[in-house]
Amino acid sequence: MDPIQHYVNLETRRKFLGNMAMGLGTAALSALAPKALLGGPMVSPGTDPLRHGMLGATHFAPKAKRGIYLFMSGAPSQLDMFDYKPQMKDLFDKDLPDSIRNGQRLTGMTSGQDRFPIAPSIYDFQQHGKSGAWVSELLPNTAKIVDDIAIIKSMWTEAINHDPAITYIQTGNQIPGRPSLGSWLSYGLGSLNDNLPTFVVLNSSWTGRKEAQAFFTRLWGAGPLPSQHQGVALRSDGDPVLYLSNPHGVSSDIRRLMLDGVNEINEDIFHEFGDPETHARISQYEMAFRMQSSVPELTDLSDEPDYIFDLYGPDSRVPGTFAYNCLMSRRLAEKGVRFSQIFHRGWDQHGDLPKDLPNQCQDVDRACYGLITDLKQRGMYDDTLVVWGGEFGRTIYCQGELTETDYGRDHHPRCYTMWMGGAGVKKGVVYGDTDEFSYNITKDPVHIRDLNATILHQFGVDHHQLNFKHQGLDLKLTGVEEAHVVKGVLA
Amino acid sequence: MNELETLIGRMLEGTLSNDERRDLEARLQREPAARRIYTEQCQWHAELALNTEVKPLLKAEELIAPAVGGNTAADPSGNAAMWRWIGVATAVGAVAGWAVLRYNPADLVAETEVSIVSLTPEAAYQEAEFSEHGSLSRPPTNFAVVTPTAGGYGGEISFNRDVRPILSENCYHCHGPDANTRKAELRLDIEANAFEPHGDYAAAIIRGDAENSPIFQRITSTKKSEIMPPADSHKTLTAAEKSIIHDWIIQGAEWESHWAFMKPEKAAPPPSNWGRGPIDAFIAAKQVALRLAPNRPADRATLARRLALDLTGLPPTPGQVADLVTDASPDAYERYVDALLATPAYGEHQARFWLDAARYADTHGLHLDNYREIWPYRDWVVQAFNRNQPFDEFTVEQIAGDLLPNPTEDQLLATGFSRCNPTTSEGGAIDDEYRAIYAKDRAETAATVYLGLTVGCAACHDHKFDPISQKDFYQFSAFFNNIDGPIMDTNRHDTRPNLVMPAAADEADWERLQVELKTANRELKRIEAEREDAFVDWLAAVSPDVIESTGLAGELWQLQLTPVAPDAAQIIAVAAPEETLAWTSRTAFTINLDHKLAQLAAGDETLIASQFDGDRGWRLYALSGDRDEPAAARLRFELIHSLAAGEMLAVTSQANRFASPPQLRASSLVVSYDGSGSAAGITMGHPRRVFIDSDLTIDALPPGEVGASELQLFASVERPEEADPSAGTTRIALYDRPHPLHVFDLLWKKGGLVKILAQVEESGETEMESKQLNQFRDFYFDLIDPTYREAKYEQAAIELAHNLIYERSTVSLIMKEREAAAIAHILYRGEYDQKGDEVAANVPEIMGGLPEEFPANRLGLARWLVADENPLTARVTVNRIWQNIFGIGLVATPEDFGIMGENPSHPELLDWLAVDFRESGWNVKAMIKQLVMTDTYRQNARIKADEYEVDPANRFLARGPRYRLDGEVIRDQALFVSGALHDQVGGPPVRPYQPTGIWNTVAYSGSNTRFYFEDEDDGLYRRSLYTFWKRTAPPPSMTIFDAPSRENCSVRRDRTNTPLQALTLMNDPQFVEAARRLAERALSPGGAIEQTPRGRIESMYRFAFGYEVPDAQEEVLHKSYLKFTEKFGEDPAGAVAFIQTGASAPMPVDDPVAFASLTMVASQIMNLDSFITKY
Lowest mean pLDDT of A21-35, B55-69, B402-416, B1032-1046, name the range.
A21-35
Q: Which chain B residue has its CA at the smallest distance from A163's CA?
A: B367
Q: Do B898 and A16 touch (CB under 8 A)?
A: no
Instruction: Check residue B1144 and give its pLDDT.
Output: 95
Specify the DSSP class assigned to residue A413. Answer: -
Task: Determine the Cα–Cα distance for residues B741 and B690; give it in Å rounded to an integer.
Answer: 8
Give the contacts of B998 (CB within 8 A, at least 6 positions apart). B1012, B1033, B1035, B1036
Alpha carbons B1033 and B1047: distance in angstroms, whole number: 11
| Rounded distance between C-alpha atoms, residue A221 and residue A108, angstroms | 29
User: Which positions in chain A touch B1051 (Cβ < 8 Å)?
Assistant: none
Across residues B141-149, what is the average pLDDT?
Answer: 30
pLDDT for A36 equals 29
Residue A318 has a pLDDT of 92
Region B966-983: mean pLDDT is 97
Contact B135 A19 (CB under 8 A): no
What is the tens place of the pLDDT at every residue in A379-398? Answer: 999 999 999 999 999 999 99
Q: Residue B362, SS3?
A: coil
Chain B residues within an 8 Å CB radius of A60? 130-132
- The confidence score (pLDDT) of residue B74 equals 39
At B440 the pLDDT is 94
Whether residue B211 has pLDDT greater than 60: yes
Chain A residues near residue B144 by CB distance under 8 angstroms: 3
Record: contact B50-A12, CB cut-off 8 A: yes
pLDDT at position A172 is 92
Q: Measured between alpha carbons, how far is residue A425 from residues A57, A341, A457, A479, A488 in Å?
A: 22, 18, 11, 24, 9
Distance from the Cα of A98 to chain B's closest Cα (Å) equals 21
Question: For the residues of B866-878, what is the DSSP string, one character each?
Answer: TSTT-SSHHHHHH
Mean pLDDT within B946-956? 87
pLDDT of residue B718: 59
Q: Are B1031 and B1046 in contact (CB under 8 A)?
A: yes
User: In the predicted model, is pLDDT for residue A211 greater than 50?
Assistant: yes
CA B52 to chain centre: 54
Task: State the ipTM, two decimals.
Answer: 0.79
Minimal Cβ distance to A176: which of B422, B1040, B1064: B422
Name the residue in chain B with its Cα closest to that of A4.
Answer: B949
Q: Confidence band (pLDDT; 50, 70, 90) for A199?
A: very high
What integer pLDDT is reported at residue B143 of this predicted model? 27
Give the pLDDT confidence score for residue B58 in this predicted structure: 58
- Pick the residue from chain A with its C-alpha nearest to B1068: A243
**B829 dihedral zone (left: phi>0; alpha: psi -120 to 50; beta):** left
At residue B309, the pLDDT reads 98
- Binned at pLDDT 50, 70 and 90, residue B173 comes out as confident
Q: Look at residue A47 and tell me whether its pLDDT is greater than 60.
A: no
Which of A469, A476, A477, A484 to mutate: most B Cβ within 10 Å?
A: A469
pLDDT at B127 exceeding the cut of 60: no
- Average of per-residue pLDDT values in chain B: 84
Q: Find out whether B733 and B557 touch, Cβ atoms under 8 Å.
A: yes
- Name the least confident of B78-87, B552-561, B1043-1052: B78-87
Task: For A145-155, write each residue's pLDDT tens digit.
Answer: 999 999 999 99
Contacts with B466 from chain A: Cβ below 8 Å:
472
Task: List, for residues A434-452, the tens digit of each pLDDT value.
Answer: 999 999 999 999 999 999 9
Q: Is the N-terminal amide bond of B497 cis, ω within 30° of 0?
A: yes
Pick among A30, A216, A268, A481 to test the B interface (most B CBs inside 10 A):
A216
Distance CA A121, CA B597 (A): 35
- Report, as an integer, the average pLDDT of A16-32: 33
pLDDT over 60 (residue B104)? no
φ/ψ of residue A351, rounded to 5: -145, 165
Chain B residue nearest residue A42, CA to CA: B67
Using alpha carbons only, how large is chain B's radius of gyration in Å? Answer: 38
A99 has pLDDT over 80: yes
Quick one: what percent of chain A has pLDDT higher than 90? 64
- Is the pLDDT at B946 greater than 80, yes or no? yes
Q: Is the pLDDT of residue B65 over 50?
A: no
With 80 as the cut, is the pLDDT of residue B600 above it?
no
| B897 has pLDDT over 50 | yes
The band of B655, judged by pLDDT with boundaries at 50, 70 and 90, is: low
DSSP state of B159: I
Q: How many CB pairs under 8 A join A and B?
A: 377
Which of A237, A275, A277 lies closest to B997 in CB terms?
Answer: A237
Q: Nearest-CA residue of chain A relative to B128?
A: A57
pLDDT per residue as tens digits for the range B782-795? 999 999 999 999 99
pLDDT higher than threshold 80 for residue B389: yes
* Chain B residues whose beta carbon lies within 8 Å of the beta carbon of residue A216: 369, 1002, 1032-1033
- For B960, residues 6+ apart whose C-beta sits below 8 A from its C-beta are B295, B298, B306, B937, B938, B939, B940, B941, B1175
Interface test with B, best of A14, A22, A38, A42 (most B CBs within 10 A): A42
Spell A417-427 as b/e; 16+ CB within 10 A means b: bbbbbbbbbbb
Residue-level pLDDT at B879: 98
- Please give the pLDDT value at position A84: 96
Q: What's the pLDDT band for B576 if we cut at 50, 70, 90?
A: low
Query: For A158, which residue in chain B has the nearest alpha carbon?
Result: B831
Would you call B1124 and A177 a contact, using CB atoms and an 8 Å cutoff?
no
Q: What percent of chain B has pLDDT over 70?
A: 84
pLDDT at B1043 over 60: yes
Which chain A residue's Cα is nearest to B1038?
A227
Q: Which residues of chain A does B359 touch, with a Cβ-Cβ cutoff of 8 Å? A: none
Residue A177: pLDDT band (50, 70, 90) is confident
Find out whether A415 and A156 touch, Cβ atoms under 8 Å. Answer: yes
Q: Which of the pair, B649 or B347, is modelled with greater confidence?
A: B347
Radius of gyration of chain A from its Cα atoms, rounded to whole angstroms = 25
Q: Closest Cα of chain B to A274: distance in Å?
A: 5
Burial class (CB in 10 A: 0-12, 13-18, 19+), B926: middle
Which residues of chain A does B47 touch, with a Cβ-Cβ cutoff of 8 Å? 15
pLDDT at residue B153, rounded to an integer:
35
The pLDDT of residue B852 is: 93
pLDDT in tens, A296-325: 999 999 999 999 999 999 999 999 999 999
pLDDT digits (tens, 9 = 90+) for B687-714: 776 665 566 788 888 888 776 665 555 5
- pLDDT at position B709, please? 61
The residue ranking higher by pLDDT, B289 or A37, is B289
The mean of the pLDDT values for chain A is 86
Q: Which residues of A touch B893 (CB under 8 A)?
A: 471
Nearest to A246 among B68, B234, B1067 (CB): B1067
B1138 contacts A249? CB cut-off 8 A: yes
B81 pLDDT more than 50: no
Pick from A6-10, B37-41, B256-260 the range whose average pLDDT is largest: B256-260
Helix (H) or strand (E) holding B499: strand B498-501
B1124 contact residues in A (CB cutoff 8 A)? 254, 257-258
Q: In what order do the strands lie in the sheet with B647-653?
A: B605-612, B617-624, B633-642, B647-653, B694-700
Identify the weakest region by mean pLDDT among A79-83, A108-112, B252-256, B911-915. Answer: A108-112
Please answer whether residues B994 and B1015 qualify as being in contact, where contact means their C-beta atoms are separated by less than 8 angstroms.
no
Q: How confident is the model at residue B722, as a pLDDT?
A: 59
Q: What is the pLDDT of residues B666-686, one digit of tens each?
A: 788 899 999 998 888 888 888
pLDDT score of B624? 79
pLDDT band for position B130 (50/70/90)? Answer: very low
Q: How far apart are CA B22 and CA A488, in angstroms?
A: 68
CA atoms within 13 A on the CB side of B951: 24
pLDDT at A468 over 70: yes
Q: Is the pLDDT of residue A364 over 70?
A: yes
Question: How does pLDDT run across B725-784, given as a tens digit for each residue?
Answer: 677 777 888 898 999 988 998 998 898 999 988 888 888 777 778 888 999 999 999 999
CA distance, residue A285 to nearest chain B CA (Å): 5
Cβ count within 10 A of residue B255: 17
Q: Is B345 in a helix, a strand, or coil?
A: helix
Among chain B residues, the shortest Cα distance to A54 is held by B139
Question: pLDDT for B524-563, tens place per residue?
Answer: 999 999 999 999 999 999 999 999 999 999 888 887 776 5
Predicted confidence (pLDDT) at residue B32 exceeds the cutoff of 90: no
Strands A149-156 and A416-421 come out as antiparallel
Residue B347, pLDDT > 80, answer: yes
The arithmetic mean of pLDDT across residues B996-1022, rounded, is 89
Range among B154-163, B201-210, B1099-1108 rated most confident: B1099-1108
Higher pLDDT, B641 or A257: A257
Span A115-123, average pLDDT:
92
d(C-alpha B1028, C-alpha B361), whole Å: 8
Per-residue model confidence (pLDDT) at position B862: 97
Chain B residues close to A277, C-beta within 8 Å? 963-964, 1057, 1169, 1173
